[in-house]
């Protein structure tokens, strides 16, 4: 599959992997709809990339976004936006508002966008929907239980959505991209061995190749380790 001429929505496009996706797709001739919480965060993107503002924690804002895309051509959606908040439930510092915000961005918003935009994608043969998950969906780390739970939920949702799309005969590929820890603003000061946001290239290569699951970088090894010994994978990622 080629991306030139395709109209693709990317959430979380102001920085990190989302920004890298927007730039690479635009360079390949795609019509990019870059979404961030505020339009000013997208000001430094090149001309020709359409900028959309939407607070993904707000269900009314998501509904308005979906309504605005009805009747338009849409060839791809990449649910990339994500936030990670350190929370320690054991010492009582976990904040209810943080929990709701993290679940809204990481899990509820991709579900909502899938529900509203899958019929739009179905009108474009060869279209796709990518949900960006994480190796932490397989085995959680201690410092971010809500993030890990949200990514595990998104991974499970993505597979179930794929089953539904296949059974309904929809010509939309539903893709789970298991993303490695990348060097972004969200991960500053967290973890070791992080790779560049240019991991976006691996996502696009996998989508172009027609894969339903894309394992980026070290996640390929984690996948093997998890198959052989889930307990070992858990120890590696526990933190």
- Residue-wise pLDDT tens digits, 3-48: 999 999 999 999 989 999 999 999 999 999 999 998 888 999 999 9
In this predicted structure, the answer to whether residue 185 has a pLDDT above a threshold of 80 is no
Q: Where are the domains of the chain?
A: 7-237
Tokens 């000013």 -> residue: 40
pLDDT band at 196 (very low <50, low <70, confident <90, very high): low
Cβ contacts of residue 239 below 8 Å, gap of 6+?
141, 142, 143, 191
In this predicted structure, the answer to whether residue 191 has a pLDDT above a threshold of 70 is no
Task: Enumerate helices (H) and strands (E) in the chain, giving the number of each.
Answer: 8, 7
Share of the chain above pLDDT 90, in %: 82
Write out pLDDT tens, residues 20-29.
999 999 999 9
Write out pLDDT tens, residues 110-153.
999 999 999 999 999 999 999 999 999 999 999 999 999 999 99
Residue 183's pLDDT is what? 41
Residue 162 CA: distances (Å) to CA of 66, 74, 80, 114, 122:
20, 18, 18, 11, 13
In this predicted structure, the answer to whether residue 190 has a pLDDT above a threshold of 80 is no
Average pLDDT over residues 66-84: 97
Cβ contacts of residue 169 below 8 Å, gap of 6+?
none
> What CATH number matches the domain at 7-237, 3.30.750.24, 3.30.1330.10, 3.30.230.70, 3.40.50.720?
3.40.50.720
């Amino acid at each position: 599959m080629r991306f030139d001429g395709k109209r693709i929505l990317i959430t979380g496009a102001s920085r990190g992997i989302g920004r890298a996706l927007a730039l690479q797709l635009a360079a390949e001739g795609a019509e990019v709809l870059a979404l961030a919480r505020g339009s000013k965060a997208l000001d430094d993107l090149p001309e020709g990339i359409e900028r959309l503002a939407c607070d993904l924690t707000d269900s009314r804002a998501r509904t308005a976004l979906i309504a605005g895309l009805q009747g338009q051509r849409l060839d791809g959606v990449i649910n990339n936006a994500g936030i990670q908040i350190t929370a320690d439930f054991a010492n009582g510092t976990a904040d209810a508002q943080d929990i709701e915000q993290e679940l809204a961005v990481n899990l509820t918003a991709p579900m909502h966008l899938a529900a509203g935009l899958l019929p739009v994608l179905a009108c474009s043969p060869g279209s796709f929907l990518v949900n960006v998950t994480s190796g932490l969906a397989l085995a959680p780390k201690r410092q971010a239980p809500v993030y890990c739970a949200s990514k595990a939920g998104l991974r499970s949702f993505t597979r179930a959505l794929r089953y539904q799309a296949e059974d309904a005969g929809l010509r939309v590929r539903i893709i789970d991209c298991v993303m490695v820890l990348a060097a972004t603003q969200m991960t500053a000061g967290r973890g070791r061995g992080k790779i560049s946001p240019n991991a976006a290239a691996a996502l696009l290569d996998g989508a172009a190749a027609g894969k339903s699951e894309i394992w980026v970088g070290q996640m390929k090894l984690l996948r093997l380790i998890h198959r052989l010994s889930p307990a070992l994978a858990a120890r590696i990622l526990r933190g």
